[in-house]
C-alpha cells in the first residue's frame, strides 16, 4: 500500500533544511484545579516522536503544525496550542509548533493562499498526521503540490498495519464494531464483512440492526433511515453477530453524559431499578446502553480464538460507569487475545488507555475516521497527495 508513497529516506540530505511536518496533536485538554489548561492524554504527541526525532537527528530545522478541536475558522483561546506546545517541549525540545491550523478558514477550505502561507520558508514536507489524512484540508493535500514530500514513520506504520488486515490477516479474522452512529460504519462493515470471519456488533449502532430483525428495542438509539441497509448487511455475507442481551436505562432516567446525575428523576419506593438487563426484547421506554453479560461471554469466546482482531468503537456508553462493563470486558479480551490485535477509534483507544492495556495491543491506531476510510476504500487523500509530490514524480524508485 505504501508503494508510490515516498518515505523519509527519499528526502535525501536534510541537514540544515527546513521541514514542515503535519502532525495530529488533536489531544484532549483538561484544566487543573488552578484553572491551567494541560494535555490530558499525550498519546498522539508521543506517537509522532519517532518521525520528529529522526528529522532532528539528521539535522533538519523542524516546524510542526496541527489542529486542535473545532474553533470554526477563527482564533479561540479555548483551542490555542499553549498546552500542546508545552508538552511537546518537554518531550522533544527545539521543535517549533505553529498555532492551531483551524484558526484560519483556509485550512478546512483547502485555500491555495493558505497553503502558500504554510510552506513559506520551508524546503520539505512530511505528513505524519494519519488521523486527518482522510480529509482534503490545506495542510494535508496542499504542501505536496509544491515541496518534496514524504510520509512520516507513524503514517507509514498505520498504512502498513491496516492494509495488512485487508491483504492477508491471520485467521480467524474477527472485526469488532461499535459506537453510536450506524451510518458512519456501514461502508466499512460492508468492506470488512466480506473479508472477516466474524463481525461483532455493539454500541448504540447495534439497535438499528436489532430493529431491522424485528426485535423490540424500547427507546434505544435507532436510525430508521438505515434499516434496509442493516437488513441487507445481515443477509449477506451473514457473519454478523449481534448482542444477545443489553444493559438498559429505565424510563425517565438520564445518562451521565446528558447532564448532572442530579437531573435524574429521583428514585422513589416502588419505582424499581434504574438499570436492568434484558434479552433480545427491550420494553418500551427503556434504553439499551451497553452489551449484557451473555453477550460479553459470547463475544469473548470469539475473540479468544481469533488469529487477528480489529476493534473500532465502544460497546456502550462507557463514560457512564453503569454502562462501562461491556467496553472494559472487550478491551480485556482483545488485550489477552493470542492473535494479532489492532485497536482504532478515539473511544476504543481511550478505553484501552484508561485500563492500562496499550502495551498489550499490537497496534493502537491514532486515526478513527481515517482508519475506517482506508479500510473501506483502500486509500486516503493524504496518501494520494504524497504520490503526486515533486520528488515522487522525479524518482522512479518511489513508483515501485
Q: Is 203 a catalytic residue?
A: no
pTM of structure: 0.86
H or E segment to which residue 201 belongs: strand 198-201
Closest CA to 310 of 243, 368, 350, 390: 368
- Cβ-contact 221, 180 below 8 angstroms: yes
Q: What pLDDT does residue 271 have? A: 56
Q: Is 369 a catalytic residue?
A: yes
Distance CA 111, CA 322 (A): 46
The per-residue pLDDT for range 111-160, each reduced to its tens digit, is 999 999 999 999 999 999 999 999 999 999 999 999 999 999 999 999 99
Task: Assign 272 to helix, strand or coil.
Answer: coil
The full set of domains in the chain, from first to last, is 8-153+379-399 (3.40.50.1260), 162-364 (3.40.50.1260)
Task: Assign 125 to helix, strand or coil.
Answer: strand
Q: Is 44 a catalytic residue?
A: yes
- Cβ-contact 298, 244 below 8 angstroms: yes
Q: What is the mean pLDDT of residues 294-321?
A: 96
Residue of 346, 367, 368, 382 marked catalytic = 346
> Sign of dihedral through CA atoms 143, 145, 148, 154?
positive
Residue of 178, 292, 369, 382 marked catalytic = 369
The per-residue pLDDT for range 51-63, each reduced to its tens digit, is 999 999 999 999 9
Sheet holding 96-97, edge to edge: 96-97, 61-65, 18-22, 124-127, 149-151
- Cβ-contact 205, 181 below 8 angstroms: yes
Distance CA 116, CA 131 (A): 23
Residue of 17, 181, 195, 322 marked catalytic = 181
Residues linked to residue 309 through DSSP beta bridges, in sequence order = 174, 341
Q: What pLDDT does residue 134 have? A: 95
Q: Is 360 a catalytic residue?
A: no
Amino acid at each position: 500500500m505504501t508503494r508510490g508513497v515516498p518515505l523519509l529516506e527519499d528526502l535525501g540530505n536534510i541537514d540544515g533544511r527546513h521541514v514542515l511536518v503535519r502532525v495530529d496533536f488533536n489531544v484532549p485538554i483538561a484544566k487543573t484545579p488552578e484553572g491551567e489548561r494541560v494535555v490530558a492524554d499525550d498519546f498522539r504527541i508521543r506517537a509522532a516522536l519517532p518521525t520528529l526525532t529522526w528529522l532532528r537527528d539528521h539535522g533538519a530545522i523542524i516546524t510542526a503544525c496541527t489542529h486542535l478541536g473545532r474553533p470554526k475558522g477563527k482564533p479561540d483561546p479555548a483551542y490555542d496550542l499553549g498546552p500542546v506546545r508545552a508538552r511537546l517541549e518537554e518531550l522533544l525540545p527545539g521543535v517549533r509548533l505553529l498555532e492551531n491550523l483551524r484558526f484560519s478558514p483556509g485550512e478546512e477550505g483547502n485555500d491555495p493562499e493558505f497553503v502558500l502561507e504554510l510552506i513559506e520558508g520551508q524546503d520539505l514536507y512530511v505528513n505524519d498526521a494519519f488521523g486527518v489524512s482522510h480529509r482534503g484540508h490545506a495542510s494535508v493535500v496542499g504542501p505536496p503540490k509544491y515541496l518534496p514530500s514524504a510520509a512520516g514513520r507513524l503514517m507509514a506504520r498505520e498504512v502498513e498495519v491496516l492494509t495488512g488486515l485487508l491483504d492477508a490477516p491471520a485467521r480467524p479474522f474477527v472485526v469488532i464494531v461499535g459506537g453510536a452512529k450506524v451510518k458512519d460504519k456501514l461502508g466499512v462493515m460492508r468492506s470488512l464483512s466480506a473479508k472477516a470471519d466474524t463481525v461483532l456488533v455493539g454500541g448504540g449502532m447495534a439497535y438499528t440492526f436489532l430493529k431491522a430483525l424485528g426485535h423490540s428495542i424500547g427507546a434505544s438509539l435507532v436510525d430508521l433511515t438505515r434499516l434496509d441497509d442493516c437488513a441487507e448487511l445481515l443477509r449477506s455475507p451473514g457473519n454478523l453477530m449481534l448482542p444477545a442481551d443489553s444493559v438498559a436505562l429505565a424510563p425517565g432516567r438520564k445518562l451521565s453524559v446528558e447532564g448532572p446525575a442530579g437531573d435524574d428523576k429521583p428514585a422513589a419506593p416502588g419505582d424499581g431499578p434504574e438499570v436492568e438487563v434484558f434479552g433480545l426484547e427491550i420494553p418500551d421506554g427503556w434504553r439499551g446502553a451497553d452489551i449484557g453479560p451473555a453477550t460479553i461471554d459470547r463475544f469473548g469466546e470469539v475473540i479468544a480464538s481469533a488469529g487477528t482482531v480489529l476493534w473500532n468503537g465502544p460497546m456502550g456508553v462507557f463514560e457512564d460507569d453503569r454502562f462501562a462493563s461491556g467496553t472494559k470486558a472487550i478491551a480485556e479480551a482483545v488485550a489477552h487475545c493470542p492473535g494479532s490485535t489492532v485497536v482504532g477509534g478515539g473511544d476504543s483507544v481511550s478505553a484501552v488507555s484508561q485500563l492500562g492495556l496499550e502495551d498489550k495491543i499490537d497496534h493502537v491506531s491514532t486515526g478513527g475516521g481515517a482508519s475506517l476510510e482506508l479500510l473501506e476504500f483502500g486509500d486516503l487523500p493524504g496518501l494520494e497527495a504524497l504520490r503526486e509530490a515533486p520528488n515522487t514524480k522525479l524518482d522512479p524508485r518511489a513508483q515501485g
